[in-house]
Amino acid sequence: MKKLTILVVSMASVGHVNSCIGATKKLLKRGHRVVFFFENEFANKAKVHGFEELTYESKHVETLDQNNNSNLNPGEKLAEALFQMKIIGPDTPEKKLEYLIMFHTNPKNLLHLLEFNSSVKEAIDDIKPDLIYYDGIADLPSIHQSGIPWIENVSFTPIFHMYEENLPPGGSGLPENDQTYWKQYRSKQKELHEQMKKKIGEQLKQIDPESVFLNYKKVEPILTVYAYPDELNYEPFKQKEGWFNLERFQRNDEKLMENSKKPLNELIPREFFTNTLNGQWSGKWIYITMGSMGSIDVELMKRLVKTLSTSNHKFIVSKGHRHQCYDLPSNMYGERYLPQIELLPHMDLVLTHGGNNTTTETFIEGKPMIVMPLFADQYDNAQRIHEKKFGLRLDPYRYKDEELHEAIDQLLNDTELLKRLKNASERIRSIDRHEQLVDKIESLII
């Protein structure tokens, strides 16, 4: 069988890069050549998994990080920018939609997009791939005009990516069974998107009247790949022609195998592992991650820590790059970075921002979730977990202390929920969707 050369192009975001790694790893194992293309700040992210890499150096600042923190990784830089723009903060989903539009129409981001598109064209000319595998928000003319078949990778929850009349508007976090506010949100969404398109068009004409972005023919992808557990998925997407559901983007599949799990006492300090909280420990482990985005809000993290400091459970906290800005009490241990995939099997519950990778990774481990969304598709994931009764949704900025404690104990003691989660986990593990995806891609290209 012919071996393919596949160029993987991802937007400058850790979550999107990791999703692509998880989705394409089996292509590499099948003997195909897989080359990742991204900014040099992501160097070695894919190489450690055996992929080839082609990087470029951006001449434009990709975020609005006014502090110009050169010591931060790309995800942390983006978090700083979103925090400065109030996209991370206590405002409503509607207000944050306005902030997101402002973020995407900033001239710095537009210059970066133009540069990225040109760099992708150079990569295509250099690698000469049989297939392009792309994950990003913006359409790239360099891909559409290449004459090379391409696959669209969707790292978001599906309704955030694709409009469906009979489903809640993406990014709203509105319930599926109550359409009261759908029209109002959708109208605002449409109005802002039209403003964004107009503003970007005007900016492009000023920067480059001959820009390829102003006039090019779009080519449909040969396949759209996404990852959302069937138990959470929306009916219109389950049978959508030309779409393939991986159910989860796992970037370290081998670490999830029973025979390769590290015991918890090898993942955390011995003194914390053996700490009984003066004989009061419940025996329960809870993992807290607000993602690289949420952990940027130190006041939010401080409040969560203070609220849970009185609990008789033990918590493992992903502190993020502002880890030095707050301390943890005796019932908590945390670091700037933690091996999330290795820790999850040992947890009894996860408190999370609801990012798509964390949501699906937690779900496959059969762990209940408290989802405290911050922006974008996190609202949709939080609502979906809540309305499908696989966990609870709380407002990270408006929760009451007793409300969070009660939610934790409710989920830890819900034996019926734990059975449902266990069944879902076993079902997902019993099907190798990643192998099926490779078969599908080979059938489309070879």
Mark whether 289 and 200 lie in a shared domain. Answer: no
- Give SS3 for 393: strand
Cα–chain center distance at 152: 15
pLDDT number for residue 252:
43
Residue range 44-67, pLDDT digits in tens: 999 999 999 999 998 865 444 455
Are the beta carbons of 369 and 390 closer than 8 angstroms? yes
The predicted structure's pLDDT at residue 349: 99
> In this predicted structure, what is the pLDDT of residue 12?
86
For 183, the 3-state DSSP assignment is: helix
Question: Would you say 35 and 53 are in contact if contact means Cβ atoms under 8 Å apart?
Answer: yes
Q: How far apart (Å, rounded) are the C-alpha atoms in residues 440 and 432?
A: 13
Burial category of 30 from C-beta neighbours within 10 Å (exposed 0-12, middle 13-18, buried 19 and up) = middle
**The pLDDT of residue 271:** 97
What does the pLDDT read at residue 306?
A: 98
Same domain, 177 and 43: yes
Give long-range contacts, CB 8 A cutoff, 24+ apart: 380-384.
Answer: 380/157, 380/159, 380/160, 380/168, 380/170, 380/171, 380/172, 380/173, 381/157, 381/354, 381/355, 381/356, 382/173, 382/354, 383/168, 383/173, 383/174, 383/175, 383/176, 384/157, 384/232
Please give the pLDDT value at position 250: 77
User: How does strand 332-335 pair with strand 33-39?
Assistant: unpaired
> Which pTM was predicted?
0.93
Closest CA to 321 of 359, 344, 293: 293
Can you list the alpha helix ranges (DSSP code H) found in 210-347? 235-238, 270-273, 291-294, 298-308, 340-343
Q: Can you give the pLDDT at residue 13? A: 86
pLDDT for 62: 46
The answer to whether 158 and 233 have CB atoms below 8 angstroms apart is yes
pLDDT confidence of residue 63:
46
Torsions phi, psi of 5, nearest 5?
A: -105, 120
Say yes or no: 381 and 335 in one domain.
Answer: yes
Domain that holds residue 51: 5-247+432-445
- Do 121 and 54 share a structural domain? yes
pLDDT in tens, 103-139: 888 888 889 899 999 999 999 999 999 999 999 999 9
Indicate whether 180 and 31 sit together in one domain.
yes
Number of folded domains in the chain?
A: 2
CATH code at 408? 3.40.50.2000
pLDDT at 61: 52
Residues 110 and 215 placed together within one structural domain of the fold: yes
Crossing angle of helices 93-104/182-207, nearest 10°? 10
**Both 281 and 164 in a single domain?**
no
Q: Are residues 159 and 175 in the same domain?
A: yes
Co-location of 168 and 286 in the same domain: no
16 and 117 assigned to the same domain: yes
Q: Are residues 262 and 340 in the same domain?
A: yes
Nearest CA-CA partner of 221 in 154, 174, 272: 154
Q: What is the pLDDT of residue 31?
A: 97
DSSP per-residue string spanning 350-389: EEE---HHHHHHHHHTT--EEE---STHHHHHHHHHHHTT
DSSP 1-63: -PPPEEEEEE-S-HHHHHHHHHHHHHHHHTT-EEEEEEEGGGTTTTGGGT-EEEEE--SS-SS
Residue 30: predicted pLDDT: 96
In the chain the first and final C-alpha atoms are separated, in Å, by 8
**Percent helix, strand and coil across the chain, each to the nearest 5:** 45, 15, 40
Per-residue pLDDT tens listing for the chain (446 residues): 799 999 999 998 888 999 999 999 999 999 999 999 999 989 999 999 999 999 999 886 544 445 556 567 777 788 888 999 999 999 999 999 999 888 888 888 889 899 999 999 999 999 999 999 999 999 999 999 999 999 999 999 999 998 888 999 999 999 999 999 999 999 999 999 999 999 998 998 888 888 889 889 999 999 999 999 999 999 999 989 999 999 999 744 554 454 467 999 999 999 999 999 999 999 999 999 999 889 999 999 999 999 999 999 999 999 998 999 999 999 999 999 999 999 999 999 999 999 999 999 999 999 999 999 999 999 999 999 999 999 999 999 999 999 999 999 999 999 999 999 999 999 999 999 999 999 999 999 98
Q: Same domain, yes or no, for 280 and 331?
A: yes
